[in-house]
């Protein structure tokens, strides 16, 4: 899921034609946070993720995760 989120944000940012620095300023988060988000860092504050996503009209929410065959045992 981290890869999906990081790819989504990066694609949306590029579609908007803005730099990571411009995104961080517009979202009110630090440049390092944007870089960590786009690189798929495992631990990020959800409120800050939502600040970034809200610029594109999105927010985080639960999604169904497929069960792994190995974890069912």
Per-residue HEC secondary structure of the chain comes to CHHHHHHHHHHHHHHHCCCHHHHHHHHCCCHHHHHHHHCCCCCCCHHHHHHHHHCCCCCCCCCCCCCCCHHHC
Phi, psi (5° rounding) for residue 42?
-70, -30
Range of the domain at 39: 2-54
Residue 49 forms part of a structural domain: yes
Write the pLDDT tens digit of every residue in 6-48. 999 999 999 999 999 999 999 999 999 999 999 999 999 999 9
pTM check: above 0.85:
no
Q: Say if 8 falls within a structural domain.
A: yes
pLDDT for the residue numbered 65? 82
Is 67 part of a structural domain of the chain? no
Question: Domain holding 11: CATH number?
Answer: 1.10.260.40
Give residue 33's pLDDT.
Answer: 98
Banded pLDDT at 1 (limits 50, 70, 90): low
CB 2 within 8 A of CB 38: no
Could you tell me if residue 50 is inside a domain? yes
Taking the CA atoms of residue 54, residue 65, residue 37 and residue 22 in that order, the dihedral angle to the nearest 10 degrees is -30
- The number of domains in the chain is 1
Asked whether residue 71 is assigned to any structural domain, the reply reads no
């Amino acid at each position: 899921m981290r890869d999906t989120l990081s790819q989504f944000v990066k694609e949306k940012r590029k579609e908007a034609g803005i730099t990571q620095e411009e995104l961080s300023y517009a979202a009110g988060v630090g440049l390092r946070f944007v870089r960590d988000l786009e690189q798929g860092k495992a631990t990020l504050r959800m409120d800050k993720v939502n600040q970034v996503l809200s610029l594109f009209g999105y927010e985080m929410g639960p999604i169904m995760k497929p069960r792994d065959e190995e974890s069912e045992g």
